[in-house]
A and B are shown apart, each in its own frame.
Chain A
């Protein structure tokens, strides 16, 4: 779970996940627009692309090709490992 913790340790990557939770299935262009205009994150497309790669490697983002376009989808599954290890109610059931 190191990769998941590292992936969500960065504010820009958390903002990317916020935007995908708001609207799943975005292109790199749409994500960059939302990050700039809504979060004031002025990183280059290249930088955002690299953040997406980190999120993909951790399994938190799934990139899927649809014809000639590539869309990015949120996947919360890897986060379950965190609450399995440290349950939200404080103990293992």
Chain B
């Protein structure tokens, strides 16, 4: 068994595709029309055969209250790995991305949290291996 898909629940698939590709830099992998919505996935250019992120419509009535409750408390439900949180924060802020948490050093990991414009908060995280092992 392996994990091949993960989902983010988005309020607008076209807007989500723009944000996840043009702003974050992922690549579109599948885009299959399914009536009103699409089977729409993106992958990281660093791992094009890796886990696909499904940009899934959030139209189920239970989803919106769930999403807004998480956002109110600043909780990211999805996290991406980056090599350099500071650099990503700088790059994304310059593109107009709203951060609810700037880069924060938590000892073993540096994290930051931003708004994906589709109703979700996303965490970016950089693991720090070396600092403690070296000291």
Contacts and interface: CB of A to CB of B under 8 A. Distances in A.
Size range of the interface on B?
A: 10 to 19
Nearest to A66: B100
A27 B108 contact: no
Contacts of B72: 65, 68-70
Interface string B55-99: 000000000000010011111100000000000000000000000
Interface in A35-87: 37-38, 45, 49, 65, 68-71
Given A70-B73, A70-B74, A30 B68 contact: no
A9 to B, nearest CB: 26
Interface string B18-47: 000000000000000000000000000000
Interface of B: 68, 71-76, 100-101, 104, 106-109, 111, 113, 121
